[in-house]
Structures are given as C-alpha cells and as structure tokens.
C-alpha cells in the first residue's frame, strides 16, 4: 500500500478540473480579453483540430484559428474578433492576451457563445468573467450551456 502511495505522489500533479477562463475587460483603447487554458489540454486540442497544421504553424496562429471558430462575442449588437497580442507559457497554463477590436461608449449588453474544448474533454467548463461597468460577473459555460447574455 505504501508503494502505491509513493508512486502516486511521484507521478506528479494530476489535474482533473477541466477549465478555461475567459476574462473580458475595458482598457483605454477598447475592450480586451485574456484567456487562460491548461497547457497540455490546449496543445492536445490544437493537435486534434489542426493535425496537418500543428507541425508547420506557430501556436499563435493556431490559437487564433481555434478561438475564432469556438467563441463568438457581441457587444451592444456589434461582433468582436480576438486579436492575440501576447502569449505567456506557464508551467501548467497558457495565458493569451489581446484586443476584442471594439471600442464602445458603455456596455449595455454582451452575448458570449463559447464551445472551446467541450467536445474533447468531458466535463470541461469555460468560465466567462466580465469586468465591465465597474462590476465583475462570472458565468460557467459547458456542453449543457454554451452561451449567455449579460445586460447592464
């Protein structure tokens, strides 16, 4: 029994929480977003989605293609597009930061549809965190609920 316990500990951390965090916020130049994803799961997802491109394209390009195909964000009825400006590779996570390419005078409504990684990982959640109009709100999207609307 002790041998099993030691082997379990030495195997390293096992992450059983399947989650990505999408945080939308206002900056002086418009709306922006950060995305934090599990490094291993995201690489695996990109490999499954783009088996031919994964060896020849930069991760920035594949991340943009993937996120663009799996997320849709509209603000006050206007569509956005996520332009990745920075990628930080942590030991366990990848953090992508960029602009939503939209400047608005006050957010009245934001609609988010997000199906990132839900088809590859059972129980995967996409946490949508909105830091807008001096309020912070969070929503959990997954295979049972892929979209939400927040009104201000």
Question: How many other CB atoms are there within 10 angstroms of residue 124's CB atom?
Answer: 21
Specify the pLDDT at position 28: 92
The model carries a pTM of 0.87
What are the structure tokens assigned to 42, written together?
């995201």
Q: Are 66 and 11 in contact (CB under 8 A)?
A: no
CA–CA separation, 33 and 14 (whole Å): 28
Starting at the earlier edge strand, list the strands of the sheet with 109-114.
Answer: 78-79, 71-75, 109-114, 147-151
CA–CA separation, 83 and 97 (whole Å): 8
Specify the pLDDT at position 1: 46
Q: Are 126 and 22 in contact (CB under 8 A)?
A: yes
Q: Give me the residue spans of the domains in the chain.
A: 17-151
CA–CA separation, 140 and 16 (whole Å): 17
Question: How many other CB atoms are there within 10 angstroms of residue 54's CB atom?
Answer: 14
Specify the pLDDT at position 16: 63
Specify the pLDDT at position 57: 94
Question: How many other CB atoms are there within 10 angstroms of residue 31's CB atom?
Answer: 21
Specify the pLDDT at position 4: 39
pLDDT string in tens for the chain (152-residue length)? 444 333 444 444 445 678 999 999 999 999 999 999 999 999 999 999 999 999 999 999 999 999 999 999 999 999 999 999 999 999 999 999 999 999 998 999 999 999 999 999 999 999 999 999 999 999 999 999 999 999 99
């Amino acid at each position: 029994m002790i041998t099993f316990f030691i082997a379990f500990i030495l195997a390293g951390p096992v992450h059983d929480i399947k989650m990505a965090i999408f945080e939308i916020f206002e900056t002086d130049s418009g709306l922006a977003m950060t995305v934090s994803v599990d490094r291993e799961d995201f690489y695996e997802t990109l490999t499954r989605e783009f088996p031919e491109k994964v060896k020849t394209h930069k991760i920035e390009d594949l991340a943009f293609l993937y996120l663009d195909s799996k997320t849709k964000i509209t603000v006050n009825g206007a569509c956005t597009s996520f332009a990745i400006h920075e990628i930080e590779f942590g030991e366990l996570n990848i953090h992508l930061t960029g602009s939503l390419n939209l400047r608005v005078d006050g957010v009245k409504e934001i609609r988010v549809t997000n199906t990132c990684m839900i088809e590859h990982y059972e129980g995967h959640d996409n946490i949508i965190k909105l830091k807008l109009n001096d309020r912070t709100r969070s929503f959990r999207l997954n295979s049972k609920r892929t979209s939400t609307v927040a009104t201000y």
